[in-house]
Amino acid sequence: MLQVLEQAQSISELLRELRRDFHRHPEPSFEEERTASVVAGFLRGLGLQVQTFADIHGLWADLRVEGAGETIALRADMDALRMDELATPAKCSFVSQNKGAAHCCGHDAHMAMLLGAAKLLAEGKVRATKNVRFLFQHAEEQVPGGAIELIERGCLDGVSRIFGLHVIPPIPAGMFIIGAGPMMASADDISIRVQGKGGHAAMPHLVRDPIVAGSQIVENLQQLVSRRAGPLRPAVISICSFQGGSGTNNVIPDFVEMAGTVRSLDEDLRGELPAWIQTSVQNVSKACGCEAELDYKKGYPVLVNDRDATQYARETALSLFGEDAIHPSPFPLLAGEDFAYYAQEIPACYVFLGTGKPGMDSPNHATDFDVSEETLPLGTAWFSALTTQ
């Protein structure tokens, strides 16, 4: 495995150039036209047959190995976030040139790592013993996501296992988190409108106050997690916006609107939560003399890592980097990820690679998010080595 790591290190400059090019030209979900073109062009330059589509930007390329007994898929996501980034000193030379879009989640790094693996394998610098499908997915960041569209078009046909990776700066650079079972949460969205009857703030007995009702709903939803779900079934209900009134200090409004997210690591619990939330919202609003509407939109399911695939991914990382590079207590995250749809179809493993270092440890989706680029060859080496055992 030392040879695999050495080969990955030998193309460090190329990986850095690829990552920075993607970073300069971020494209949000469902708009990855340039990104997909660059990826497809790179893969074709390696002599690989590339499968593209007229109606989506997701694509894949296949490496066929004579005598191979199975095909595995390696996946990277391509889309950027709909946000502006902070031009920190470390990345001022390659800051986003597209206003309102930024690679503040690390998908630029994911693409560079997987393209690097494709180069090493296609050129024979690392010898694969398996057929490989290099899967570049569009629209991970926006529900319904791109995974479903690629699955519908056959991206998993003939594939026995799939592996993916995500960078995570708060974890030290070079540290892998690899665990079996639930690894990322389901991610559902809720919107609540509480309708009351507004009036003068000095005469609250003559109104039906939606602010009071809405505030009680927020508090009640937190009790659902602690008193209904129980301590052994993790869940999060977070109300992230609460809008009501017009900014005056003496008018109670007619209605308030709230929006938030519901997360769980248990699909059974996820199925129970909508009814619990609906009952809580209706009962509280009724007790306050108001009416309420709940809009519950399901997003990505729980991402569950297959035990055997995870063991294989872990052994691969161990053989490359040693025991010190494997986090001793792998833990799931309550973020959502549509890699979960692949995992519902075939054995899958999704891992996290730490990219943090002093002064560069802001979390994913932060305006000053960045990736320590010395970890790029590590991701390339791990992707490559998965094909060799």
The distance of Cα 372 from the centroid of its chain, to the nearest Å, equals: 19
Positions marked active-site = 79, 140
Q: How far apart are CA 260 and CA 254, in angstroms?
A: 21
pTM of whole model > 0.95? no
Q: How many residues does the chain have?
A: 389
pLDDT of residue 88: 83
Angle, vertex CA 124, rays to CA 166 and CA 319, nearest 5: 50
Residue 310: its H or E element: helix 307-321
Please, what are the domains in the chain? 2-183+302-385 (3.40.630.10), 186-300 (3.30.70.360)
pLDDT at 330: 83
Which amino acid appears at position 2 of this protein? L
**Can you tell me the distance from the alpha carbon of 231 to that of 73, in angstroms, rounded to the nearest whole number?**
36
Structure tokens at 181: 């079972």
* Cα 316 → chain centroid: 23
Per-residue model confidence as pLDDT tens digits over 155-185: 999 999 999 999 999 899 999 999 999 999 9
**Close Cβ partners of 226 (under 8 Å, ≥ 6 residues apart):** none
Instruction: Tokens for 178, please give them.
Output: 């690899």
pLDDT tens sequence across 259-304:
999 999 999 999 999 999 999 999 999 999 999 999 999 999 999 9
CA angle 354, 357, 358 (to 5 degrees): 155
**How far apart (Å, rounded) are the C-alpha atoms in residues 138 and 153?**
13
Q: Which residue has the tokens 């872990």?
A: 314
All residue ranges of the chain with pLDDT < 70 are: none
Instruction: Tell me if 210 sits within 8 A of 290, measured CB to CB.
Output: yes
